Structure 1
Amino acid sequence: MSSYDDDTLPLQPPIRLPGKATLASAVRAAPMAGALQPEGDDTEVLAFWAEHCRKRLAGDEGLLLELVRLFLSREPLSGKASPTLTGLGLVRQAEPYTLSWLGLWVARQIIAETTGQDIPVMGTLADADAATLLHGLRSYPESERGEELAGWLEGRDEQAAADEIASVLGAVSPLSRAVGVELLSTAFGEEGRQALARLLEEPKLGAVIAARTGREERQPTPDEIAWVLVDMAAALLEFGGETGEVIESIAMGMKPEEQAGTIAILAFGDHPWTGQVLRVFIDHHPDERVVAAARKALRRLRGLADLRG
Structure 2
Amino acid sequence: MSSYDDYTLPLQPPVRLPGEATLAAAVRAAPLAAELKPEGDDAAVLAAWTQHCRERLAADEGLLLELIRMYLSREPLKDAAPETLTGLGLVRQEEPYTLSWLGLWAARMVIAETTGQDIPVMGSFADADAATLLHALRSYPRAERAEELEGWLKGRERAAAAFEIASVIGEVSPLSRAVGVELLGSSLGDEGRLALSGLIGEPRLGAVIAARVGREDRRPAPEELAWVLVDMAAALLEFGGETGEVIESVAMGMDAEEQAGTIAILAFGDHPWTARVLRVFIDHHPDERVSAAARKALRRLHGLADLRA
TM-score (norm 1): 0.99
- Structure 2 Cα separation of the partners of residues 40 and 296 of structure 1: 60
Contact 1:31–1:89 (CA under 8 A) maintained in structure 2 = yes
Q: Which residue of 2 aligns with 1:221?
A: 221
| Cα offset, 1:79, TM superposition | 2.2
Contact 1:3–1:64 (CA under 8 A) maintained in structure 2 = no
Contact 1:13–1:139 (CA under 8 A) maintained in structure 2 = yes
Q: Which amino acid aligns with 1:53?
A: C
Q: Which amino acid aligns with 1:223?
A: E
Name whichever of 43-52 and 1-10 sits farther off.
1-10
Q: Which residue of 2 aligns with 1:211?
A: 211
Q: Which residue of 2 aligns with 1:20?
A: 20
| Cα offset, 1:6, TM superposition | 4.3
| Cα offset, 1:39, TM superposition | 1.1
| Cα offset, 1:4, TM superposition | 1.8
| Cα offset, 1:5, TM superposition | 4.2
Contact 2:3–2:115 (CA under 8 A) maintained in structure 1 = no
| Cα offset, 1:194, TM superposition | 1.1
Whether 2:166 is the aligned partner of 1:141: answer no
Q: Structure 1: any 5+ residue segments left out of the alignment?
A: none
Q: Which residue of 1 aligns with 2:196?
A: 196
Q: Which amino acid aligns with 2:151?
A: G
- Structure 2 Cα separation of the partners of residues 110 and 231 of structure 1: 30
- Structure 1 Cα separation of the partners of residues 284 and 3 of structure 2: 26
Name whichever of 78-87 and 226-235 sits farther off.
78-87
Q: Which residue of 2 aligns with 1:80?
A: 80
Q: Which amino acid aligns with 2:22?
A: T
Q: Which residue of 2 aligns with 1:38?
A: 38
| Cα offset, 1:7, TM superposition | 4.1
Aligned residues between the structures: 309
Q: Which residue of 2 aligns with 1:49?
A: 49
Identity of aligned residues (%): 79
| Cα offset, 1:107, TM superposition | 0.7
| Cα offset, 1:80, TM superposition | 2.0
Task: Give secondary structure in 1 for the equivalent of 2:104.
Answer: helix
Q: Which residue of 1 aligns with 2:104?
A: 104
- Structure 2 Cα separation of the partners of residues 70 and 130 of structure 1: 32
Task: List 4+ stretches of structure 1 deviating above 6 A.
Answer: none
Deviation track 1:85-129 (CA, whole Å, cap 9, x = no partner) reads 011100011111111010011110111011110000001100000
| Cα offset, 1:275, TM superposition | 0.2
| Cα offset, 1:83, TM superposition | 1.2
- Structure 1 Cα separation of the partners of residues 247 and 115 of structure 2: 24
Contact 2:38–2:49 (CA under 8 A) maintained in structure 1 = yes
